[in-house]
């Protein structure tokens, strides 16, 4: 496991250079632009009533004396905060060299998004193989020093502590925050922009823009009453208007349906003044066709941002419903979060559990696994895409079940996900998921390999926290399980051996480290010869063995294996490899 070598990498390459080893390097190049077209939020074509807010936002960003200039857009859910920021990107994105959109409801998501942007910008030193936090800091440093114009949108900020590690303290760019919390507008001299409800006239204009101008002849006092009831919340108007347009119904027919259905919703739900549009949202959900409603319920168990449609399409006969939902509901952040909350409220406990297991199965089947000796860093972008959804799955499990509930499938998913997180150095973020994985993993023989992965990940966290003895004890348990259950020449067993070799080395047990590293080399050489992997793990095993020899003072043997490791690594994963040419990745190898 690469994470267990983190404290040894500096020594390893310092030693390699002292022996004349050549590390693959990439010449520095200029960053690549990130145009506004690449932001992950679509702009609602029915945007209306916020034109003056859009102009104000542009004027304030360009007139601020502070650098970077920040505007905080605040307002209740459904007011159009995200849509206003997205509209700004569409209208004025050409003014910026880089437009960076960051979903900001948790620390992990912010770091991973900024890491991805650093790689896409091709910043010197950024790489998919680096820890996300290092890539993210490269991006923040670039924002603070570049002369190129940039825009960062921190969307859906719930807690300022999530931003403190990623906030550019200088630079000539612009920052937009969106938040439900008005006091965030005071953060670092931000300029406040609080979105108010639409006026009755604006609501009426938006409503008929959605349902069709031809419906104006059917207008009545009851429509005016409903518009007032929805209190100028664009989301409510959009949901109801979309329902009418999609059903090609007259307004009198809609009123008959709404009167009957909404009355039941009012009786069933605990509505508050804070969410006056929840009734409209719940009504639009209740009137969906069965297939669309099933899909919406399934969406409740994923993170609101960038739900991977390849997961969802695999569970339905065709993609038409998914496309309709994306078009009609604009599944992004505030809108989607509200839909999730309301949809879950109208589901029975039995339905919630069944839908949870359906979503869990889809995510578990799709999450990449370590296996076959392949270099898992090639799968890291997919792991990173699924990570927010695993975090939500863990939270939904906590809402539905007590601590004694066992779930082998959830344990399998969390073991795979936390393995990736520990590999990327996301130790603090991985810890709560590892705790859940331990709690839910059954004690049967069939789940022993899953448990071994969970314990291995926990060993990585302990190692990072300098709890070496605890890490070593866990590694010994993992090794015993894998020795018992895996083929003697399984690449995973080789990985386990060179990882425990590093822990032995940190413990000062060099003879045990040497023994483990030699066994790892033997397994991976055999795997490489038989075609089980391309040699990348063999290269790492050589480097670890060389480091062990160096610690023991055997400099000639250290030189031999470090040079072999660097040469093989360059052929399999470095600049000389086919992977490098095909992937187009850059950065330190």
Please list, in sequence order, all residues whose beta carbon lies within 8 angstroms of the beta carbon of residue 467, skipping any fewer than 6 positions away: none
DSSP annotation of 76: S
Give the residues across from 179 on adjacent strands: 74
- pLDDT at residue 244 in the model: 87
Q: Are 118 and 138 in contact (CB under 8 A)?
A: yes
Average pLDDT across the chain, whole number: 82
Give per-residue pLDDT as tens, 427-449. 989 999 999 999 999 989 989 99
User: Residues 435, 439, 444, 446: what is their CA dihedral angle, to the nearest 10 degrees?
Assistant: -50
Residue 176 parent element (H or E): strand 174-179
- Buried residues in 44-73 as b, exposed as e (16+ CB within 10 A): bebbbbbeebbeebbebbeebeeebbbbbb
pTM metric for this prediction: 0.71
The answer on pLDDT for 580 being more than 70 is: no
Token digits for 431? 């810890």
Q: How far apart are CA 300 and CA 567, in angstroms?
A: 49
Q: Give the neighbor-by-neighbor strand order of the sheet with 69-74.
A: 98-103, 150-155, 174-179, 69-74, 191-194
The rounded distance, in Å, linking the Cα atoms of 526 and 90 is 55
The pair of structure tokens assigned to 522 is 């033997």
What Cα–Cα distance (Å) separates residue 321 from each residue in 83, 285, 327, 347? 23, 14, 10, 20
Lowest mean pLDDT, pick from 13-27, 78-92, 163-177: 13-27
Residue 501 confidence (pLDDT) above 70: yes
Most confident of the ranges 40-54, 104-118, 472-486: 472-486
pLDDT class of 281 with cuts at 50, 70, 90: low
Q: Looking at mean pLDDT, say which of 20-24, 145-149, 296-300 comes out highest.
A: 145-149
pLDDT band at residue 343 using 50, 70 and 90 as cut-offs: confident
Q: What is the pLDDT at residue 73? A: 94
Residue pLDDT, tens place only, 509-525: 999 999 999 999 999 99
Mean pLDDT across 230-240: 82
Q: What confidence category does residue 307 fall into, taking pLDDT thresholds of 50, 70 and 90?
A: confident
* Residues 6+ away with beta carbon under 8 Å from 42: 86, 326, 330, 332
Percent of the chain with pLDDT over 90: 50
Please name the helix (run of DSSP H) or strand (run of DSSP E) that holds residue 73, with its range, or none.
strand 69-74
Q: Is the pLDDT of residue 461 over 90?
A: yes
CATH number of 31-194: 3.40.50.300
State in words which class domain 405-573 has: mainly alpha
Instruction: Tell me if domain 31-194 and domain 405-573 are identical in fold.
Output: no
Domain locations along the chain: 31-194, 200-283, 287-353, 405-573
Place of tokens 């996301």: 426
β-strand pairing of 191-194 with 150-155: unpaired
Answer yes or no: are the C-beta atoms of 325 and 331 closer than 8 Å: yes
Higher-pLDDT residue of 417, 26: 417
Three-state DSSP class for residue 87: helix
- Mean pLDDT score, 283-305: 74
Tell me how far apart the alpha carbons of residues 491 and 499 are, in angstroms, rounded to a whole number: 12
- ∠ CA 334-280-297 to the nearest 5 degrees? 60
Residue 232 has pLDDT above 80, yes or no: yes
The encoded tokens of residue 200 equal 């009755």
Instruction: Report helix, strand or coil for 253.
Output: helix
pLDDT at 29: 58
What local confidence, expressed as pLDDT, does residue 79 receive?
A: 86
pLDDT band at residue 283 using 50, 70 and 90 as cut-offs: low
Tokens representing residue 539 in the block: 């290269």
pLDDT at site 214:
92
More confident residue, 313 or 337: 337
Residue 342 confidence (pLDDT) above 80 = no
Q: Can you point out the beta strands (E) in 110-229?
A: 150-155, 174-179, 191-194
In whole angstroms, how far apart are CA 384 and each of 110, 303, 420?
12, 13, 9
**Would the pLDDT of 574 be above 90?**
no
**Can you give the three-state secondary structure of 326-395, one letter per residue?**
HHHHCCCHHHHHHHHHHHHHCCCHHHHHHHHHHHHHHHHHHCCCCCCCCCHHHHHHHHHHHHHHHHHHHH
């Amino acid at each position: 496991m690469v994470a267990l070598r983190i404290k040894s990498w500096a020594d390893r390459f310092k030693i390699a250079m002292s022996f004349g080893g050549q590390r693959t390097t990439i010449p520095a190049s200029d960053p690549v632009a990130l145009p506004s077209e690449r932001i992950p939020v679509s702009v609602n074509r029915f945007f209306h009533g916020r034109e003056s807010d859009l102009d104000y936002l542009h004027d304030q960003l360009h007139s601020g004396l502070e650098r970077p200039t920040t505007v905080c857009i605040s307002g209740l859910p459904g007011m159009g905060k995200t849509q206003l920021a997205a509209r700004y990107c569409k209208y004025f994105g050409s003014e910026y060299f880089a437009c960076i959109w960051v979903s900001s409801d948790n620390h992990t998501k912010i770091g991973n998004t900024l890491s991805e942007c650093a790689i896409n910008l091709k910043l010197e030193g950024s790489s998919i193989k680096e820890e996300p936090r290092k890539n993210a800091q490269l991006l923040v440093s670039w924002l603070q020093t570049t002369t190129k114009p940039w825009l960062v949108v921190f969307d859906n900020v719930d807690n300022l502590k999530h931003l403190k590690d990623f906030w550019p303290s200088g630079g000539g760019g612009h920052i937009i925050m969106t938040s439900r919390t008005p006091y965030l507008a005071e953060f670092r001299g931000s300029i406040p922009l609080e979105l108010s409800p639409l006026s009755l006239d604006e609501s009426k204009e938006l409503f008929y823009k959605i349902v069709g101008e031809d419906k104006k002849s059917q207008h009545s006092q009851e429509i005016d009453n409903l518009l007032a009831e929805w209190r100028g919340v664009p989301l409510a108007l959009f949901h109801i208007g979309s329902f009418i347009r999609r059903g090609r119904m007259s307004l009198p027919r809609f009123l008959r349906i709404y009167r009957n259905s909404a009355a039941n919703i009012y009786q069933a739900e605990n509505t508050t003044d804070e969410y006056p549009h929840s009734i409209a949202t719940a009504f639009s959900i209740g009137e969906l066709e069965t297939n669309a409603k099933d899909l919406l319920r399934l969406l409740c168990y994923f993170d609101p941002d960038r739900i991977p449609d390849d997961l969802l399409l695999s569970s339905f006969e065709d993609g038409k419903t998914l496309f309709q939902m994306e078009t009609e509901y604009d599944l992004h952040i505030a809108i989607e979060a509200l839909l999730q909350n309301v949809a879950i409220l109208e589901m029975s406990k039995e339905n919630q559990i069944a839908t949870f297991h359906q979503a869990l199965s889809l995510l578990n089947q799709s999450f990449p696994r370590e296996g076959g000796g392949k270099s898992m860093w090639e799968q890291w972008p997919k792991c990173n895409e699924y990570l927010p959804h695993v975090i939500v799955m863990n939270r939904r499990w906590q809402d539905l079940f007590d601590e004694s509930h066992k779930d082998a499938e959830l344990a399998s998913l969390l073991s795979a996900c936390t393995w990736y997180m520990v590999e990327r150095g996301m130790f603090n973020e991985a810890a709560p998921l590892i705790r859940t994985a331990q709690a839910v993993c059954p004690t049967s023989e069939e789940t022993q390999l899953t448990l071994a992965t969970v314990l291995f990940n926990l060993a990585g966290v302990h190692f990072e926290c300098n709890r070496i003895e605890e890490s070593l004890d866990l590694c010994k348990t993992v090794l015993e399980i894998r020795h018992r259950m895996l083929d003697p020449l399984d690449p995973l067993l080789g990985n386990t051996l060179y990882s425990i070799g590093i822990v032995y080395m940190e413990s000062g047990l060099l003879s045990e480290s040497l023994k483990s590293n030699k066994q790892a080399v033997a397994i991976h050489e055999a795997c490489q010869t038989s075609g089980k992997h391309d040699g990348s793990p063999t290269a790492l095993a050589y480097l670890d063995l060389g480091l062990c020899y160096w610690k023991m003072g055997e400099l000639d043997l250290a030189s031999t294996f470090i040079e072999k490791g660097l040469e093989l690594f360059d052929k399999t994963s470095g600049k000389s490899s086919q992977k490098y040419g095909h992937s187009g990745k850059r950065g330190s190898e």
